[in-house]
Chains A and B, each alone.
Chain A
Amino acid sequence: MTQTQQLSDEAARSLERLQESFGVDSLPESFVAYGRSPVFLKDLMMNARKYVAGSGAIDQRHRTLIALATALHAKSEPWVELLTKYSQQVSLDKQELIDVNAVASTNYMYNTFFKFRHLSGTDRFDGMPVSLRAHTFTNVSLDEATCELINIAISNLNACEPCVSGHVTKAKQLGLTDQQLLEAIQCAATVYAGTQFLAFNTMLRAELDDES
């Protein structure tokens, strides 16, 4: 693979550090594409070490759930692969992975609804019932605070203003700190940027491969 041959020492080191931070035996194959931009890869690795792998204001398990929800949102197979592999190390079970999917997907339903109501620029829908069943939020194995972290991350990615502000209020009531909420966004931001680079690289690949 030509990409492998092009890896600079700096890029190789960053990939190694990235792999080491997730403690996995290998990174998804397509991650070598990051080597095309050592500077982006370095940012990604440093931010992933700080906000995705390991723990900070948010513990390792919760970070992984937020990261996975983000990777699912981005429909990034390599990132889902990495994070599901990593999820075993932080003792997440299969049911929790299924529930991340369910909660993230349910956000799309509510985000779509509330974003419309907000964007419509009128209050004429305000009194009307939402009428969309969403028992998922309360009937999954994930606790309320965990769901709120995912809700905030996904609602933000979907740019639903009333959803984000509502979930931030709820999260604070549940005792989540500002630092934790910000870290959830930093985690999602890191993963989302990582997924976009791979997707954009795929689009550019034909062009770039011709050059080399």
Chain B
Amino acid sequence: MVGIASSAPEFECEFYDRTKDGADEQFGKLSDKDLKGKWYCLFFYPLDFTFVCPTELVAFNEKLEDFEDRDCELLAASTDSVYSHKGWCDSHEDLAKLRYRLLADTTHSLADAFGVLKSDAGVAYRGIYLVDPNGDVRWFAVHDMSVGRNVDEVLRVLDALQTDKLCPCNWQPGEETLS
């Protein structure tokens, strides 16, 4: 189970990248090691082709620049396959414009490692995590199935984590922060 200030779990997971749709690079593998040295925001949603989810995915998509401003990689994950992700994006006008990667946690190991696997249903609860460049979980929230998340709130928290801490000026990935 993930906790505050604990290391985010190691993982390797397939992804679908809508921005590369149709090209070989549309599918690939991402591991926690690829994300070392930068902030990332990972959020889980229960299932492709359902109602609350697209609203949420689209809301995050619209604020992608704000995550980029904060040098924060945005990722979403469900237990669906990359082909399901692609099919969903193909079928939905707004999701067709999705600009961040969707992780396909078909083995359920990602959701399990982050502690949001609803094992009787094989889907993930709506967990969201902010992980810092050291790979430490700095904030998380878990909603049950029905409540969507507020993107502005996530950005507010990210700002607070990035600015209201005494960060050494020459901080490099791997070094301790002054918290």
A32, CB-defined interface residue at 8 Å: no
CA distance A4 to B130 in the complex (A): 36
Chain B residues lying within 8 Å of A45, measured Cβ to Cβ, are: 69
B159, CB-defined interface residue at 8 Å: yes
Q: How far is the CB of B10 from chain A (nearest CB, A)?
A: 30
CB nearest neighbor in A for B163: A46
Q: How far is the CB of B154 from chain A (nearest CB, A)?
A: 15
CB under 8 Å from chain B, chain A span 31-74: 42, 45-46, 49-50
CA distance A99 to B69 in the complex (A): 35
Q: How far is the CB of A182 from chain B (nearest CB, A)?
A: 13
Q: How far is the CB of B157 from chain A (nearest CB, A)?
A: 14
CB under 8 Å from chain A, chain B span 59-75: 65, 69-70
Chain B residues lying within 8 Å of A46, measured Cβ to Cβ, are: 69-70
Task: Please count how many residues in chain A sit with their CB below 8 Å of the partner chain's CB atoms.
Answer: 6
CA distance A50 to B66 in the complex (A): 11
Chain B residues lying within 8 Å of A117, measured Cβ to Cβ, are: none
CB nearest neighbor in A for B69: A46
CB nearest neighbor in B for A10: B71
CB nearest neighbor in A for B71: A42
Chain B residues lying within 8 Å of A17, measured Cβ to Cβ, are: 65, 69
CA distance A45 to B69 in the complex (A): 9
CA distance A46 to B67 in the complex (A): 11
Q: How far is the CB of B36 from chain A (nearest CB, A)?
A: 20
Chain A residues lying within 8 Å of B65, measured Cβ to Cβ, are: 17
6 new A-B contacts, CB < 8 A, other than A49-B69, A50-B159, are: A17-B65, A17-B69, A42-B69, A45-B69, A46-B69, A46-B70
